[in-house]
Amino acid sequence: MHAIRQYEHGGPEVLLHQEIPDLVAGEGQVRMAVEACGVHYLDTVLRQGFTSAVHQPQRPMTPGREVSGQVDEIGPGVDPAWLGKRVVAHLGLASGGYAEQAVTAVANLHELPHAMAATAAVAAIGTGRTAVGILDLVPIGPDDIVLVTAAAGGLGVLLIQAARESGATVVALAGGADKLTIAREQGAHLAADYRTEGWDSEVRRELGGDVATIVFDAVGGAAGSAAYGCLPGGTRRPVRLVQRRPAGLRRSDQDRDDGARPADARTARRTAVAGDRGARARSRRVAGASRGLPVRPVRCERRPPGRWKHGRRTARSS
């Protein structure tokens, strides 16, 4: 099998495409032929060796934590009915997703309907579970005006889709014309570039004097403060999604447009993935996606087999 392997900490150049022995499913495990895997900002943090908030897997390692594909081998104690099924799984802190094969406990599996794309399944099991946790905290109704920062990101587009599904008015904030286009394509009624001075006043004018009732903020800094200023004196609580940047992390590895981070920010992810609640969120998001509820990942890239040669660069920081 082929996999992306990492032997040392560093930039994208430390990720190597190599051939390694096939994996073997152990007791209570299955092996999956991977069709799609998730790629996240957190992967760049782990790649560089920052361990302040997240367990650092032992090296050499294969990065990646969300995978979907077909079960092609079962271990002792696993129901034979799983063999051949299309599934999605979150591998947790073990990693191992950037590969042609992945091994995980059968308890981590979620079976997929035939019509569900592997890419949508990966979005549902990863970012989708965070979205479910957030929406548990702050349900959206048709009378809400929802303001979403970092609206073109993986989480932002799902929050836009959920708000539209609930009948709310959606205001999207993003940096740059391309990202604003993505936000509009996902259903945002208004889209503003938060790097433009006076964007908040323009949004208020476009809304006819109305103000936001919910703010989902994943940017922080001046843009986040201006977003909170769109709330009417705190009649609905803002949800802060930002995480503290690990000390020493290079600005070039930020996937946000604003480097400022509130030091006391709490993340909805912690709520979404804590204990059994995280498992329930994953199940609900996959089940919702299988029923046709919105899960439309917008950043998906297919790479044909053999494109990456041994020792070649395999990923970017952005």
128 burial (CB, 10 Å; 0-12 / 13-18 / 19+) is buried
Q: How many residues does the chain have?
A: 318
Give me the pLDDT at residue 69, please.
96
Query: What is the homologous superfamily of the domain 127-274 according to CATH?
Result: NAD(P)-binding Rossmann-like Domain (3.40.50.720)
Give me the pLDDT at residue 41, please.
80
Question: CATH classification of 2-125, choosing from 3.90.180.10, 3.40.50.300, 3.20.20.140, 3.30.565.10?
Answer: 3.90.180.10
Q: What is the DSSP letter of 22?
A: P
Could you list the beta-strand ranges (E) of the chain. Answer: 2-6, 15-19, 29-37, 66-74, 86-90, 101-105, 109-111, 145-148, 169-174, 190-193, 214-217, 239-240
Domain range summary for the chain, segments of one domain joined by +: 2-125, 127-274
Give me the pLDDT at residue 46, please.
83
Query: Is there a common fold for 2-125 and 127-274?
Result: no
User: What is the C-alpha to C-alpha distance for residues 223 and 241, in angstroms, rounded to an integer?
Assistant: 13
- For the chain, residues with pLDDT lower than 50 are 234-236, 242-278, 282, 290-295, 297-318
Give me the pLDDT at residue 309, please.
36
Give me the pLDDT at residue 205, please.
87
Helix, coil or strand: residue 173: strand
User: Of 251, 262, 258, 298, whose CA–CA distance to 176 is shortest?
Assistant: 258
Helix, coil or strand: residue 172: strand
User: What is the C-alpha to C-alpha distance for residues 315 and 313, in angstroms, rounded to an integer?
Assistant: 6
